[in-house]
Amino acid sequence: GESVGLHLPTLSVQEGDNSIINCAYSNSASDYFIWYKQESGKGPQFIIDIRSNMDKRQGQRVTVLLNKTVKHLSLQIAATQPGDSAVYFCAEDAGNMLTFGGGTRLMVKP
Amino acid sequence: EPEVTQTPSHQVTQMGQEVILRCVPISNHLYFYWYRQILGQKVEFLVSFYNNEISEKSEIFDDQFSVERPDGSNFTLKIRSTKLEDSAMYFCASSGGLAGESEQYFGPGTRLTVT
């Protein structure tokens, strides 16, 4: 069936380094993707989104890249900070429901 | 900043009992959702609700589940006869304010433990 999934379950980076979290999707008709951050004991928090008519979108310290050819998107976090430690999910937004990937845990080492 | 709130934060119930999880969405939002997350797993969509009716539901949302917006502020999820496998975090979300924004804002969740 259609799915949104993640390549790596855990990513450990040094504070100050850049982080890259990857996500693959299988539905070529998907046109809207969102990255969420989930801290322990909290609900998912919106980080950044991208529509399929774009291949790159930048926010504050975060960049999302979308490669429709290989159905892949990534989240880049610049100058990773301890507060970035969380689980990151990509999700496909079908308009009235989100389909989440499996999540990548980002651990930031001081 | 407006936020989605959920009560209770933790609910313990015995198998077979009914539970009602409560949510107060952001006040000017029009679309409401329930998701669940079994411990250590991904977040799964349950149901979306708009204009006082269900607009989409997943296979998980069977006859044991129901949703209701009993008044202008609350949005509830009822599980009629809980099973052990219903143990999970349940997240409410809302979207669609007056500006037509589509971003879903999530509440802090209710942890449901079925014993």
Q: Is A70 an interface residue toward B (CB < 8 Å)?
A: no
Please state, in angstroms and as integers, the Cα–Cα distance from residue A97 to each residue in A5, A34, A40, B54, B83, following that order: 16, 12, 23, 12, 24
How does pLDDT run along chain B (115 residues), one tens digit per residue? Answer: 789 999 999 999 999 999 999 999 999 899 999 999 998 888 999 999 999 999 999 999 999 999 999 888 899 999 999 999 999 999 999 998 655 567 899 999 999 999 9
Which chain B residues are within 8 Å of A98, Cβ to Cβ?
A: 33, 35, 43, 45, 104
Task: List the single residue in A43, A91, A96 with the smallest CB-CB distance to B91.
Answer: A43
Q: How many CB atoms lie within 10 A of CB B57?
A: 17
Q: How many CB atoms lie within 10 A of CB A37?
A: 21
| CA B10/CA B47 separation, integer angstroms | 21
Task: List the single residue in A42, A46, A89 with the smallest CB-CB distance to B42.
Answer: A89
Whether B33 and A97 lie within 8 Å, measured CB to CB: yes
